Amino acid sequence: MKRFIYIFICISLFGCTSQKNTSIWLIGDSTMAWKKPSRAPESGWGEGLKLFTNEQATIHNHAASGRSSLSFINEGRWQVVCDSLKRGDYVIIQFGHNDEKPDTARHTEPYGSFKANLDRFIKESKAKGGTPIICSSIVRRQFNEDGSLKDTHGDYIVASKRVAEESMVPYVDMETLTRKLVTEMGPEKSKEIYNYTSRKQDSTHLNNKGAIEIARLFVDEINKQQLDLSSYFRENNLVNNSISE
């Protein structure tokens, strides 16, 4: 009897310790990606999202600078993520910034190859038992003379939403959320969240503070939509404005 109890306890303990946390996979471009220390204070909002994640989940940030939905696939980056997916995982997808670039290695058409690539991410994520979430691109800090922000993404935003609706997957309109935030901050104050320094005036990429604030917008929207993903995030007020190493 004692031997049976001992074996049962060992099996139970092994089962508990062998359980894996849910993985949250991020695929996208430089506005989401991890950055080398040499590029500080530049950061991506995928890094900020790590601060909001509780102990039940792990962020795997595979977003990469300069990549479009096309080059992310052609370089084998998507295959690495897809091969690693397990049932119950999440895949957060955000492309568009570089899909509009004219070079053949990256360029896609909004309602053609761009839409097809997003469809592929969705279908292959679902096939592995994952839950894909489509995000539109974050806004660039490019103001018009009247104080409004320029539309630099055009149909890529519309196409992202259309794919999500047609595939019936969650959609987070990061363009609208960030447009509201940056517009309210205005031309000067908004420099505080972009990689805008004395040596580099960068109105596309975020700094550490911006990475957290944009991640906060994402988490707030996930909570607002009452998606299952919300259970893997901590309370926003517990997150400060510094990205830990």
Confirm whether 138 is domain-assigned: yes
Confirm whether 2 is domain-assigned: no
Confirm whether 244 is domain-assigned: no
Q: Looking at 3-12, 70-79, 104-113, which range is the least confident one?
A: 3-12
Work out how many domains the chain is built from and give that number.
1
Query: Residue 134 forms beta bridges with which residues?
Result: 93, 171
Find the distance separating the first CA and the last CA of the chain, reported in whole Å: 49
For the segment 147-169, what is each residue's pLDDT rounded down to a tens digit? 999 999 999 999 999 999 999 99
Confirm whether 232 is domain-assigned: yes
Residue where the block lists tokens 């370089």? 75
For the segment 100-118, what is each residue's pLDDT rounded down to a tens digit? 999 999 999 999 999 999 9
- pTM of the shown model: 0.90
Mean pLDDT of 194-223: 96
Confirm whether 10 is domain-assigned: no
**CA 66 to CA 142: how far, in whole Å?**
19
Where does 45-106 show beta strands of DSSP type E?
A: 57-61, 90-94
Q: Looking at 64-78, 121-135, 187-201, which range is the least confident one?
A: 187-201
For the segment 177-207, what is each residue's pLDDT rounded down to a tens digit? 999 999 999 999 999 999 998 889 999 999 9
CATH of the domain at 190: 3.40.50.1110
Q: How confident is the model at residue 129 (pLDDT cuts 50, 70, 90)?
A: very high
Amino acid, res. 137:
S
**CA 195 to CA 213: how far, in whole Å?**
13
Query: Residue 22 forms beta bridges with which residues?
Result: 57
**Rounded to whole angstroms, what are the CA distances from 218 to 14, 26, 69, 214?**
35, 13, 20, 7
Nearest to 95 by CA among 27, 172, 176: 27
Tell me the three state secondary structure of residue 81: helix
Mean pLDDT of 129-146: 97
Question: What is the chain's mean pLDDT, rounded?
Answer: 91
Q: Which residues contact 15 (CB under 8 A, 6 or more apart)?
A: none
Confirm whether 212 is domain-assigned: yes
Q: What is the pLDDT of residue 5?
A: 36
Q: What is the pLDDT of residue 236?
A: 67
**CA 177 to CA 173: how far, in whole Å?**
6
User: Which range of residues forms the domain containing residue 122?
Assistant: 20-238
**CA 214 to CA 117: how far, in whole Å?**
25
**CA 155 to CA 208: how far, in whole Å?**
29
**Rounded to whole angstroms, what are the CA distances from 131 to 26, 77, 167?**
12, 18, 12
Confirm whether 243 is domain-assigned: no
Whether pLDDT at 239 is above 90: no
